[in-house]
Structure 1
């Protein structure tokens, strides 16, 4: 069987308009995939130069396959099973920032270049005062970016029309602002001058983004089946879910240089991404956080199993549609469509999302993902949302243990241990309180921890007795029976 190469695909040379820091699975199944479709439809003519931004690893597999690879989207969309493969041809060049620094600078100074995109992990957007301008390249991503922008500034003698759109995809809130701040710090540290700083400020556009697609990457678990499906060998094959969303916020409109939405792709250009981020955090992340701890204690291991259980599926549907959706500040039809797409994503049979993996740092997740919806529901209706309050009791049940060793709290599910991982202060609190207090005392103590929640939850009238009552039911009946009893009453849940 042949290995994927340029003789097996219609490859067209395109001008290098986009430089991409990061060759990993996410950008290849998200940005590069979208650009490839847009190019094919004639909406854009964008060639991509991919940069390996770290000193270890190599680009050999890209070179062996002429920078080609396959993206397979697997899952459900609009009620239909999707299992579609596409050879992506948008990458024109790959560059090792450490082995080919001269080529990197040359590419950054191309007349055709318009965009720089990155996904260097959450730890990639950092300022390090020990980073050096003289290094080829500087060690941090913001340092590399600053030096390359300076090279471009010098090459074009400060031409205002030669600025770039900088679009980070790292999973950091206000990622573009954070990156811009780092660049300004390096300009000061390295003494690059106010003229250059003004060029960066006025000619370059730093965008904040929200990206959403589950990318499962190289299909090691079913490689033979995947290779048989393709009919060729692909060492870079990349798998992902069909759903995708890219929200790009900027002070200037850059849709003309990245016209992906004109190709029907799920890209939104806006001057304020806040409502879209809120929608994702409250609905997608909120659906997870409100159900996975209860689901695990009910005996399940992965999200897909929760979606097949009648009681837990009813619980999730009710908590999202009745207690979360009303508080999201976007048109209701858009919000409902997004919520339904979330349910489809959770049902994806190709993705095995472990509940214990999602349980990491659930205290801070409950604060950011659930509490805003609970607060809005209470302030709007004057009543407590029953299911969101139940999720607080489920968190308490999941975290109940006095066995804290080596920074990990050990829980117990039907005689089987499991690890609870969270901030040290949270774990110490549960170790000291969860097994020694009555349910009412335990809820009172936890709800009043303003350091965890940013406010005193006991101020919500009835919260302590309601949560304590649910915790008692979980303790006496077991989680599965407690959820069953709760959803049996769902007709009256919104009555108060």
Structure 2
């Protein structure tokens, strides 16, 4: 038994194709001399969407990826984050139709009722994953569009709130959401715990975003990004994640209608 979604990208030429003869009947197996495209699609769309969604989903109260896709607003957030913000920001030449098709296949996988992919497992070492999977996409999005990617900004704000914790050991912290405690496994848990203890949310946002040791770049230099993340963080703190998510789409609908 297997899930419908399948991708096994193998780098190689004709010799590899001859040895792995099963590729001709396995539609999910791809053998190419260069598999960078498949690596980028998986890393930026599948993994990147996970990393920018786990905090918001957890704060809303969802335990698994499938559960989040059953929530009207989270489902819209995850869909639009992947296809409106992350796909255009992939730092590699990707045909839009190819990227859209891959993204829709991934969303089908997320909905698989037989998969219990827990958000807290995805959250492990979330800071490192954010740097590897999402920061290059964010930087390239700005190069291409010179505008704030709002789905990424909301996801980043939720990450900051998720990381509000009391550190108990190196790389281990304890947070609370919806009246329930949770354990954070992240090498930067202590760093974020210290910032939350002594800075305002706005100061914390600026301090974290400009930390080049975390991201490899000063993200406060991206026009409007720090301000947008700070606004979403303030809203999450004041109104809670469910209300913030509903308001996020209400405002977007109003902007489209106007």
TM, length-normalised to structure 2: 0.92
- Looking at both structures, which has the greater relative contact order when contacts are Cα pairs under 8 Å and sequence separation is at least 6? 2
Out of 1, 18, 23, the residue aligned to residue 256 of structure 1 is: 18
Out of 169, 188, 199, the residue aligned to residue 406 of structure 1 is: 169
Q: Deviations over 1:42-79 (max 9, x none)?
A: xxxxxxxxxxxxxxxxxxxxxxxxxxxxxx12xxxxxx
1:301 aligns with 2:81: no
1:341 aligns with 2:75: no
Q: 1:427 is matched with which residue? A: 189
Which SS does the other structure have where 2:157 is aligned? Answer: helix
- Higher strand proportion: 1
Contact 1:253 1:269 in 2 (8 A): no
Deviation, structure 1 residue 253? 4.0
Q: Deviations over 1:203-237 (max 9, x none)?
A: xxxxxxxxxxxxxxxxxxxxxxxxxxxxxxxxxxx
Which SS does the other structure have where 1:350 is aligned? Answer: coil
Which SS does the other structure have where 2:16 is aligned? Answer: coil
Deviation, structure 1 residue 394? 0.6
Deviation, structure 1 residue 435? 3.3
Structure 2 CA distance, aligned partners of 1:289 and 1:264?
Answer: 29
Structure 2 CA distance, aligned partners of 1:465 and 1:392?
Answer: 12
Q: 1:246 is matched with which residue? A: 8
Contact 1:294 1:394 in 2 (8 A): yes
Q: Give the count of matched residue pairs.
A: 253
Contact 1:374 1:384 in 2 (8 A): no
Which SS does the other structure have where 1:489 is aligned? Answer: helix
Q: Deviations over 1:368-394 (max 9, x none)?
A: 222122112111111110110111111
Q: Write the mapping of 1:81-160 to structure 2, written as runs, cut at 5 A.
A: none
Contact 1:306 1:313 in 2 (8 A): yes
Which stretches in structure 2 are left out of the alignment for 5+ residues?
Answer: none
Structure 2 CA distance, aligned partners of 1:253 and 1:388?
Answer: 42
Which SS does the other structure have where 1:268 is aligned? Answer: strand
Find runs of 4+ consecutive structure 1 residues off by over 4 angstroms: 491-494
Distance 1:435 1:414, change over 3 A: farther
Deviation, structure 1 residue 458? 1.1
Out of 440, 457, 460, the residue aligned to residue 202 of structure 2 is: 440
- Higher helix proportion: 2
Structure 1 CA distance, aligned partners of 2:213 and 2:202?
Answer: 20
Q: 1:287 is matched with which residue? A: 49
Which stretches in structure 1 are left out of the alignment for 5+ residues?
Answer: 1-71, 74-240
Out of 215, 221, 225, the residue aligned to residue 459 of structure 1 is: 221
Q: Deviations over 1:387-413 (max 9, x none)?
A: 101111110000012x11133110011
Contact 1:327 1:376 in 2 (8 A): yes
If you compute each CA radius of gyration, which structure gives the higher value, 1 or 2?
Answer: 1
